[in-house]
């Protein structure tokens, strides 16, 4: 047996999974490519953390330089964290103007819950079936993706889960489905307010682990209005979708013309460096300032801030949002053509470089086919293309590569999809 695998099994928890039937030993990355220990080059179609590309030299240089000068906590005055906060805020609606820096998406969402609970004086939270918001206890409790899955449990009473608003294959389908999902949300809001409480609504505008699913436009737009009308708080989880990945807009919530009260960021924010944030309004932030200090040993330190700033500069300098839009549209068009020729692809969805392909069983009335999805992803891995599978039924192939992913990469991906599908 592979000795690295054996050693890993000895020292790391077995609850930590490995990708692919034949696990990969990756030793190097560059741009949108990864290299294994035998020098085999893989096209990375899945790593949305290394947003501006693996081992980007501007990031390693910036971090190295700052590490040689100073890395301390945010209890000292420091220009880097201020520059970074200013640069981030410029990208957001005016009301989102106060930053809290953290070190992972989970930490951000946990803090967002605290902010919302302090503001509303209520814990009642509405979440979407299939949603994942992080791995801490507070977040597993609000992540149906986890508490309904293997090893799951009944969530606390303050959690109000509503069906995933999938208008194609959800609890309600077809015409009128969107309105029915909205009605469920509205009923849940009424239920919470009838007890004299204010609702917290936590959502991803485009669900990631939920299967690369954009929320229906009116569901989110009107639902958000209802939350505001009931003096509730909305938390937009942008951990997977932020920073230009979706092409047309920098943030996923912008597709819906809404202004959330709190947004949470992570993953791509530091291009792999542990860096994340919560950004909220002055009003919510000042209510949180109730005497209990917010201190974070690492969050917003000078090295993190320099890295975060560099990521933002690279996105702008290299036109990565525009690239996500262009290549995303190009790739989606080809995937849709492939879908026409091969109905195993039940649906192709998403925006920019955040796409999902639903794999269905043609012999079983187009029901989800998780085994086939997993098979295809492993076959693609053998063709040196890295993808993964997710969604409530584990039948959605996810495509969310580093943003330098180009048209040539898209062609290569499609060519190999054709080959794999032909071989079935």
Site residues (vs ligand PMP, CB under 6 A): 104-106, 109, 132-135, 204, 208-209, 237, 239-240, 266-267
- CB nearer to ligand PMP: pick between 105 and 391: 105
- CB nearer to ligand PMP: pick between 296 and 416: 296
Handedness of CA 56, 58, 59, 65 (dihedral sign): positive
Query: Which residues, at least 6 apart from 278, have a Cβ–Cβ distance to it below 8 Å?
Result: 99, 100, 102, 108, 111, 112, 115, 262, 263, 264, 265
- CB nearer to ligand PMP: pick between 239 and 344: 239
- Minimal distance in Å, beta carbon 100 to ligand PMP? 15
Q: CA Rg, the chain, in Å?
A: 21
Instruction: DSSP for 351-378, please give it.
Output: ETTEEEEEEEEGGGTTEE-HHHHHHHHH
Instruction: DSSP for 27-48, please give it.
Output: EEEEBTEEEETT--EEEESS-S
- Minimal distance in Å, beta carbon 314 to ligand PMP? 20
**Alpha-carbon span 19 to 381, nearest angstrom:** 10
- CB nearer to ligand PMP: pick between 127 and 344: 127
DSSP-derived pairing of the beta strands 41-44 and 385-386: parallel
- Minimal distance in Å, beta carbon 208 to ligand PMP? 5
Paired with 279 in beta bridges are 99, 263
- CB nearer to ligand PMP: pick between 124 and 237: 237
Query: Which residues, at least 6 apart from 10, have a Cβ–Cβ distance to it below 8 Å?
Result: none
- Minimal distance in Å, beta carbon 108 to ligand PMP? 7
Closest to 337 in 3D by CA, of 278, 415, 405, 282 = 415
**Alpha-carbon span 419 to 396, nearest angstrom:** 19
- CB nearer to ligand PMP: pick between 161 and 237: 237
**Alpha-carbon span 275 to 312, nearest angstrom:** 13
- CB nearer to ligand PMP: pick between 240 and 305: 240
Lookup: tokens for 156: 């606390």
- Minimal distance in Å, beta carbon 84 to ligand PMP? 18
Lookup: tokens for 239: 């951990």
**Alpha-carbon span 315 to 144, nearest angstrom:** 33
- Minimal distance in Å, beta carbon 241 to ligand PMP? 8
Lookup: tokens for 132: 């994942």
- Minimal distance in Å, beta carbon 46 to ligand PMP? 12
**Alpha-carbon span 288 to 49, nearest angstrom:** 30
- CB nearer to ligand PMP: pick between 110 and 409: 110
- Minimal distance in Å, beta carbon 349 to ligand PMP? 17
Ramachandran sector of residue 298 (left: φ over 0; alpha: ψ -120 to 50; beta: rest): alpha
- CB nearer to ligand PMP: pick between 109 and 280: 109
Buried residues in 72-111 as b, exposed as e (16+ CB within 10 A): eebeeebebbeebbeebeebbbeebbbbbbbbbbbbbbbb
- Minimal distance in Å, beta carbon 106 to ligand PMP? 3
- Minimal distance in Å, beta carbon 382 to ligand PMP? 26
Query: Which residues, at least 6 apart from 203, have a Cβ–Cβ distance to it below 8 Å?
Result: 127, 128, 131, 215, 220, 234, 235, 236, 237
- CB nearer to ligand PMP: pick between 210 and 346: 210
- Minimal distance in Å, beta carbon 200 to ligand PMP? 15
- CB nearer to ligand PMP: pick between 197 and 267: 267
Closest to 351 in 3D by CA, of 204, 424, 248 = 248
User: By beta-carbon distance, which residue lies closest to ligand PMP?
Assistant: 105
DSSP-derived pairing of the beta strands 213-214 and 206-207: antiparallel
């Amino acid at each position: 047996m592979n000795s690295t695998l054996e050693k890993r099994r000895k020292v790391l928890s077995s609850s930590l999974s490995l990708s692919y039937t034949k696990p990969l030993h990756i030793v190097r990355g560059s741009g949108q490519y990864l290299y294994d220990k035998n020098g085999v080059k893989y096209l990375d179609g899945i790593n949305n953390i290394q947003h501006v590309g693996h081992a980007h030299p501007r990031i390693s240089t910036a971090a190295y330089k700052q590490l040689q000068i100073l890395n301390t906590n945010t209890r000292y005055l420091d220009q880097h964290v201020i520059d970074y906060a200013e640069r981030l805020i410029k990208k957001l609606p005016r009301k989102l103007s106060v930053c809290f820096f953290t070190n992972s998406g989970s930490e951000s969402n946990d803090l967002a819950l605290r902010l919302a609970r302090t503001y509303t004086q209520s814990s009642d939270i509405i979440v979407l079936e299939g949603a994942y918001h992080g791995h801490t206890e507070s977040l597993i409790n609000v992540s149906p993706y986890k508490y309904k899955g293997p090893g799951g449990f009944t969530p606390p009473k303050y959690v109000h889960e509503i069906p995933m608003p999938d208008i194609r294959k959800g609890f309600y389908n077809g015409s009128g489905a969107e309105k029915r999902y909205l009605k469920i949300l509205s009923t849940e809001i009424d239920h919470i307010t009838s007890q004299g409480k204010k609702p917290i609504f936590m959502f991803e505008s485009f669900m990631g682990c939920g299967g690369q699913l954009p929320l229906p436009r009116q569901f989110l737009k009107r639902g958000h209005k209802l939350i505001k009308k009931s003096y509730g708080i909305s938390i937009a989880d942008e951990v997977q979708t932020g920073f230009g990945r979706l092409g047309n807009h920098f943030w996923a919530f912008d597709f819906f013309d809404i202004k959330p009260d709190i947004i949470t960021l992570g993953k791509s924010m530091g291009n792999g460096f542990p860096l994340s944030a919560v950004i909220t309004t002055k009003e919510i932030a000042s209510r949180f300032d109730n005497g209990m200090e917010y201190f974070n040993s690492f969050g917003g330190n000078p090295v993190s801030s320099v890295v975060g700033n560099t990521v933002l500069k690279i996105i702008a300098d290299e036109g990565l949002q525009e690239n996500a839009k262009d290549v995303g549209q190009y790739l989606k068009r080809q995937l849709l053509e492939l879908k026409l020729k091969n109905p195993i692809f039940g649906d192709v969805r998403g925006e920019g470089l955040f796409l999902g392909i639903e794999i269905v069983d043609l012999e079983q009335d187009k029901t989800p086919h998780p085994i086939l999805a997993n098979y295809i992803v492993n076959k693609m891995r053998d063709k040196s293309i890295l993808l993964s599978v997710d969604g409530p039924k584990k039948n959605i192939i996810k495509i969310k590569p580093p943003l330098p992913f180009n048209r040539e990469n898209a062609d290569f991906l499609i060519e190999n999809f054709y080959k794999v599908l032909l071989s079935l």
